[in-house]
């Protein structure tokens, strides 16, 4: 299905519940307000939208476009060694983030939107898959909805990196990966989030899970692990996902309040580099109107909201 807008911008759906390719837009800081509104509408409707052949963009152009959609955050709450304070390199040199997650849920101000631009890609593999967490909630049986509507979880940036170490290499992770991961956890953040948040723009209910979840409040570690696997399996059902085969110059924009994503590490030792900008988001609100609460760490420097 292809939706045609008045300015010759088209959004072609890629899946039943998530994903669309948007054509007819040259991204940049000079886009008119009407086109920006159409892009936002396509984003809210499809959760993740893709743009091909945006080769003209550099970091400054990507940032200028991002500022039309919202307020850019710092590149990361803890990763300091980046040239542009708002642009985070997603670089295979620092390891492969091949696990399901929503960006930066370990702080109270979870980014609202992420904008990712492909710079250098491997000759094979390296796709990314996204899942719709609002659809995952909507398709839960009533008994599970009743459970998760009042459930809270602790999210932290100090999650178990060791589980992803390549044990076939002598010495485990290489030095650069080890240093980058040490910087990632150089300042500890822990935040209590509702497992179900109310989307501030669409009013949808969406699950807030992913690999930054440490445990559920009020449950033991064993109970937390079992319930986490049950709910995550609901999020990542194939019918709930879309997979994108990157080309250099592609840009992906996703609603970080209603998605998780997974970068597939199937490209051997080839380099892969993309640049990400996140937009400031509000503090999640639960079904009963309670806001997320930070336990450890102050993320006010990361986002102005």
Catalytic residues: 101, 103, 261, 276
Structural contact between residues 63 and 86, judged by C-beta atoms closer than 8 angstroms: yes
- Tokens of residue 28, six digits: 């940049």
Handedness of CA 253, 256, 258, 262 (dihedral sign): positive
Residue 5: name the closest of 47, 42, 50, 45 by CA.
42
Q: Which helix (H) or strand (E) holds 62?
A: helix 59-69
Which residues are 91's β-sheet partners?
Answer: 273
* Distance, CA of 90 to CA of 292 (rounded, Å): 27
Q: Which helix (H) or strand (E) holds 50?
A: strand 48-51
Structural contact between residues 126 and 268, judged by C-beta atoms closer than 8 angstroms: no
Structural contact between residues 241 and 113, judged by C-beta atoms closer than 8 angstroms: no
Q: Is 65 exposed, middle or buried (0-12, 13-18, 19+ CB in 10 A)?
A: buried
- Tokens of residue 94, six digits: 């620092």
């Amino acid at each position: 299905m292809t939706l045609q807008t008045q300015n010759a911008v088209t959004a072609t759906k890629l899946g039943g519940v998530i994903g669309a390719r948007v054509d007819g837009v040259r991204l940049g800081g000079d886009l008119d307000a009407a086109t920006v509104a159409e892009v936002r509408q396509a984003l809210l409707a499809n959760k993740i939208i893709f743009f091909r052949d945006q080769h003209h963009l550099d970091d400054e152009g990507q940032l200028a476009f991002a500022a039309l959609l919202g307020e850019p955050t710092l590149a990361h709450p803890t990763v300091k060694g980046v040239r542009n304070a708002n642009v985070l390199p997603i670089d295979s040199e620092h390891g492969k983030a091949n696990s399901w997650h929503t960006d930066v849920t370990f702080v109270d101000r979870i980014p609202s939107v992420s904008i990712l631009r492909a710079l250098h890609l491997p000759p094979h593999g390296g796709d990314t898959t996204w899942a719709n967490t609002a659809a995952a909630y909507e398709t839960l049986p009533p008994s599970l909805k009743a459970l998760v509507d009042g459930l809270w979880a602790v999210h932290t940036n100090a999650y178990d990196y060791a589980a992803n170490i390549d044990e076939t290499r002598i010495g485990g992770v290489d030095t650069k990966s080890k240093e980058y991961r040490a910087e990632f956890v150089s300042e500890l953040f822990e935040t209590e989030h509702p497992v179900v948040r109310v989307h501030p723009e669409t009013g949808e209910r969406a699950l807030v899970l992913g690999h930054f979840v440490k445990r559920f409040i009020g449950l033991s570690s064993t109970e937390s692990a079992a319930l986490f696997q049950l709910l995550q399996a609901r999020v990542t059902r194939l019918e709930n996902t879309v997979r994108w085969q990157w080309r250099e110059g592609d840009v992906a924009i996703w609603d970080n309040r209603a998605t998780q994503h997974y970068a597939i590490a199937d490209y051997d030792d080839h380099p892969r580099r993309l640049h990400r900008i996140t937009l400031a988001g509000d503090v999640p609100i639960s079904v009963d109107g309670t806001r997320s609460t930070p336990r450890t760490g102050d993320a006010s420097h990361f986002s102005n909201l």
